Amino acid sequence: MTALTVPVGQDRDLRPLPWRKMAWITWRQHRIALAGVAALLGGGAVYLLIMGLSIHHSYAALTACHPASSDACGNLVGNFLSTYWMGAQITSVLLQLVPVLIGAFVGAPVLARELETGTFRFIWTQGFGRARWAVAKLTLLAVAVTAAAGAFSVLYAWYIRPFLAAAVSQQSSLAGEIFDLKGIAFAAWTLAAFAIGALAGLLIRRVVPALAATLAVYAGMAFATTLFLRQHYLAPLVTNSPGGPPGNGNAALPVSQWYTGPNGKPVSQAVINHLLQGFNPTTTKVAPNAFQTNISPQQYLAQHGYTLWMSYQPASRFWPFQWIEGGWLLAISLILIAATIWLVRRRAA
């Protein structure tokens, strides 16, 4: 008899460990990884709280300015954006990395490390069993990272709110760098990244290659969703208004633009470029060193019978899009976790 085998007949005497003890063992094994998640999200939360208080204080002064169309209020808006908007953009881009980092450094090693070192064989002799071992690990960690991400997204939504208000509105809430971090999407993407990492770790059985595979798969799925899938969750609206989408145009998500000619049929960009070669507007002096054109290119094209059309997703669809994206991400995550547990039973030995 070796340390990694159980004599025939004795395995039936082993009693499965209670789920409570299995959860405690999982916590003991992965407390460093969970502490890393807490440090990552905690550090981000502290930054969002400190900067958010300053942003909201400045925004309160901006909204108290009346009339909003005055030069003084316009200067306040300009100062507000020049002070905070660039930092908010950088913060939003960096936070996009949080789900995939959790998936790579928590999800990928959760099974791969023990499969790589062979310690899983010893664990199975202690009353765990393959499926219970996988379920205990994946469930506890998945719930922990998803709940933490959900709480973090609430803080981010508060932090970014002034920039989405009509008085400032530099970005649409449907834009990729913001949409992924608000509502339920951030938690759903974090869960999906964890599930991808867990399955990659099981299939590859090496921590570092599984980590790289998680990064690659997640990046491909995130880019495809942002660039191609999300804008088609619902049929886009269409407008030919010179001012763009009705209401606050910056809050809408543009999908596509095209021109129609005098006959009402779409024309190519080459036709528009050729027509604009004759665009030679007159100018009016509005200041000692400033001139203003009397007609815009779009007005020039309209005079010749060409109309600009735009398809867009209105900002009012933010929550329907959140539920659609969160729903299919949850479905994929559950499928990946179920497949991981099934493969543990079939292939992990």
Report the range out of 64-68, 94-98, 123-127 with the highest average pLDDT. Answer: 94-98
pLDDT, residue 285, reads 55
Q: For 159-173, what is the mean pLDDT?
A: 82
C-alpha to C-alpha distance for 69 and 38, rounded to whole angstroms: 45
Q: For 307-314, what is the mean pLDDT?
A: 91
pLDDT, residue 54, reads 95
User: At residue 170, does pLDDT exceed 80?
Assistant: no
The string of pLDDT tens digits covering residues 118-128 is 666 656 555 56
Supply 271's token pair: 């036709």
Confidence of residue 4 (pLDDT cuts 50, 70, 90): very low
What separation in angstroms does the CA of 122 have from each of 9, 125, 228? 18, 5, 47
The string of pLDDT tens digits covering residues 190-203 is 999 999 999 999 99
What separation in angstroms does the CA of 106 have from each of 50, 194, 267, 319? 28, 7, 51, 29
C-alpha to C-alpha distance for 30 and 131, rounded to whole angstroms: 18
Confidence of residue 23 (pLDDT cuts 50, 70, 90): low
pLDDT, residue 175, reads 87
Residue bearing the bigger pLDDT, 13 or 308:
308
